[in-house]
Amino acid sequence: MRLNSAMSYAIHALVHMAHQPGDQPLASYRIARARGLPEKVLLKLLKPLVSRGILKSIKGPDGGYRLAKRPRDITMLEIIEAVDGPIRTQADFEGPEGGRLAKKLQAVWDRANEEIRRQLGKVRLSELAGKG
């Protein structure tokens, strides 16, 4: 797994939103400008965050995006999986010995994947935003 620019942009946008007082929606261009993010890319990233219930999209002239939950109720795991899909690093353990070793190595890899998910599930947006 690698934290790519899309995930980084999404995290930066959500941290920015977590810093905003009140419940007012923010226009995507304001978020992009405040964080130095490309707006077109940010717009594409906000859609899956809305679909996954992390953000709410508000229509109209005073619309924009706002957090759908409190920052302490949003985990880094949720953010990453909303943007990039389920965390599951891949490994190819096939070799000359065949099945037994490959199965053992895959079991180790599966445990490592679960540990990554567990650790990311502990990190809250509020912590990333320095608010708890």
Ordered domains of the chain (ranges, CATH): 5-128 (1.10.10.10)
- Note the pTM of the prediction, 2 decimals: 0.85
- The residue among 98 and 84 whose pLDDT is bigger is 84
Cβ atoms 54, 68 nearer than 8 A: yes
Beta-sheet strands, E only, within 1-132: 55-58, 64-67
Q: Quick one: average pLDDT of 32-41?
A: 94
Q: Please say if the pLDDT value at position 75 is more than 80.
A: yes
Cβ atoms 87, 117 nearer than 8 A: yes
